[in-house]
Amino acid sequence: MLLHNSIIWLSSAAQQIVITLCKPDSIIAHENLASILLELDKTEQAFDTYLKAIGIDQSANNSSSQLYASTARFLNIANKDRINKGNLKKILNILLERNDINHQYLF
């Protein structure tokens, strides 16, 4: 059963990577890919993927509360020593300006 579940999870991960490649401007695809990368202990790549999603969101003048909340939760559990400090500062500033996320996740 564990092997079956692992295969299903890997298949889901592969599908998400393909979706992200096919829809490079999809915020949801990038957000889902970031979650998968975090599960694989790829903290830096997950963070970069969240940054990409936020960049897409900002350039489209969207305001995806879910994306920013997911990013805040990611920062709460991620090993921040493995994240580029300049980019970390940038994203913290963006998140602190928002009123629709729990700022306690950031510290």
pLDDT at site 71? 93
pLDDT at site 7? 47
pLDDT at site 40? 84
Whole-number average pLDDT of the chain: 82
Helices (H), the chain: 2-22, 27-39, 43-59, 65-77, 85-96
Check residues 8 and 62 and name the one with the higher pLDDT.
62
First-to-final CA distance of the chain: 38
Rounded average pLDDT over 57-78: 85
pLDDT at site 13? 64
| CA-closest candidate to residue 62, choices 104, 86, 30, 89 | 30
For residues 30 and 54, give the distance between their C-alpha atoms in angstroms, rounded to a whole number.
9
Handedness of CA 67, 73, 78, 83 (dihedral sign): positive
pLDDT at site 75? 92
